[in-house]
Structure formats: C-alpha cells, structure tokens
Amino acid sequence: MPAANSLPDVLETTEAERLATGFIFTEGPLWHPDGFWYFVDIRQSKLFRMTPGKEPELVRTTIGGNGTTFDLEGRLIVCEGDDRRVTRMSADGKVETLVDNYKGGRFARPNDVICHTNGNLYFTDPDKRRAYHLREVPGPEGENDLWDGAGVYRVTPDGQLSMLALCEYPNGLALSPDERTMYVANTRSSKYIHGIRLDAAGNAVGRFIFADMNEGDEPGIPDGLKVDTLGRVYCTGPGGIWVFQPDGRRIGIIRWPEQAVNFAFGGPDMRTMLCCAYTSVYTLRMKVPGQPHPWYKVRGT
C-alpha cells in the first residue's frame, strides 16, 4: 500500500475512496455537469458513464478509446487509438470521425485531447504506437503512415487541421488558466512535462521544459495532466500524481492504492478528483477546484 498522503494545501481528504473496480486498464476520465463521469477501459474498448453511488453503465464500444473531452457544443470527443482517429459523439449517440489523417498520412495512435475556449481542439499523437510498427512489419497495404509525425495537433471549429508542435513522445495535455501555456506530458526516454507558449489565438510561440520527472524507481510515467484554478499542474508519474507550483517547483505526490494512469477534476464544485488506476477508479476531495472545461461556461454551469 502506498504511503499516506500529506499534502495539506492540496488535499481535503487523504484516504482514496474506490467507486468501481473489475476493469483491465481504465483511462480517459471526464466530468459531465449533469452529474456523472465518463471513463474508458482501453483493453476492453468500452466507454462507461458512472453516476456517483451507482454502478458504471456501458455507453458504447470504442475502438481503443483513450483521452476524452467535450467540444463547445457538449459533444463528446474521444481519441480512439486502435482505429487511429479522433471521434465525436453527439447527444443522440451518433459517432463520426473528426480526423484520422494529416496531409494524407494516417495517425499512429491519438492519445489525449483537450478543448480551448475558442473552440480549438488539441490532441497528441505519439509516433510508432501500433503493434506492427513494433514488430517491424508493413502496415495494411496501401495505407500511408506519419512516420515522423509525433506531436500535438489542432483542429479548429470549422474542421481545419494543423500541427501545433513536434514532440518526442507526447501523451497527456492541459492548459493553464489563462490558456497561454499548454502542458504536454512526455512519456518515453525522457520523462518530463513540456511547456508550449501560446498566443491569444492558440498558436505556438515558444517552448520550454516545465518539469523534469526522471526521478526514483517507482512505477508510473508522465501521462494524465490537469491544472487547478490556482494554476498548479498535476501529472501522473512515478508513485502517483505529482503536483507542481505554476513555476515548476514540485509540491508533492498524491498516492493511490493502485498505479495512477489518468485523472480528472469534477463534481458540482470541481473539487473531486477521479483517478483511473488500472482495475479501479478512485476519488479524493481537493481544497482547490480544478480548471473547468470551457463548455461548462458556455452552458452556464
């Protein structure tokens, strides 16, 4: 069992509550202001909806669903990595492909996705994630690949797709409260959080290393990323969820009964943290709310 949490300025509760278990690899948590959570089980390719106090309900089968967000109309956006695309699900359950290629080359495995207040969607595509890449055998006949396309991509509300920045192995994404900094978790050889400076329109104008996470031998990698209303940055890593001041100084690590994979802020006051940790999902109460999704403001919640 991990050591007890001791982050007095961050945590209101220190013992995690398990809400559901029996999964294989949970990911993609997202709070809906109607009072429930979305999350996925990547290995089972299932998207779930869970109201606190009730059993999770199956929403639909994905194709390797991972990161989730909403657009400004409240439609659910999902990175369906095994199908190499980003999808959009409307309120009536209709699912359509948002993007699946860049300049004719198929994405490798879209991973995480976030929404800007101007409606832009940003998502990561780590390169060479498909099994046949690892086996060094050809992909499906006639299928072009983005062999050097690992990076962060942007989709505008009118459907225009562009690359924001190349990155070594981009994973989780988050925006600072003023949306002038995008945080990108780099997962593989160098474990760190990358910072991309943005202008008012959401274009990249600079980059830097926000925090180095190459420390210790506990299990865990930079993956899920979130920011609270004070601008503090939270990222999964060795031992749990690492918490940083806005200037990159580490505050501490939030420990969980299982290895933290991804997480989200939610609840009516945005002070509940839901953690996806392999077979289970857990919650803790926080002292400071998480940064709300732009759609919450559009709908007046």
Q: What is the pTM of this model?
A: 0.92
The rounded distance, in Å, linking the Cα atoms of 52 and 84 is 32
**Residue length, the chain?**
301
The rounded distance, in Å, linking the Cα atoms of 258 and 280 is 8
Q: What pLDDT does 75 receive?
A: 98
Greatest Cα pair distance in the chain: 56
Q: What pLDDT does 188 receive?
A: 76
Q: For residue 46, give both structure tokens.
A: 């299932």
Q: What pLDDT does 140 receive?
A: 45
Q: How far is CA 20 from the centre of its chain?
A: 20
**CA dihedral in degrees (158, 60, 270, 300; nearest 10)?**
50
CATH class of 17-298: mainly beta
The rounded distance, in Å, linking the Cα atoms of 209 and 65 is 29
Low-confidence ranges of the chain (pLDDT < 70): 1-4, 128-148
Q: How many CA atoms lie within 13 A of 143 on its CB side?
A: 15
The rounded distance, in Å, linking the Cα atoms of 31 and 52 is 11
The rounded distance, in Å, linking the Cα atoms of 65 and 40 is 6
- Percent helix, percent strand, percent coil in the chain, to nearest 5: 5, 45, 50
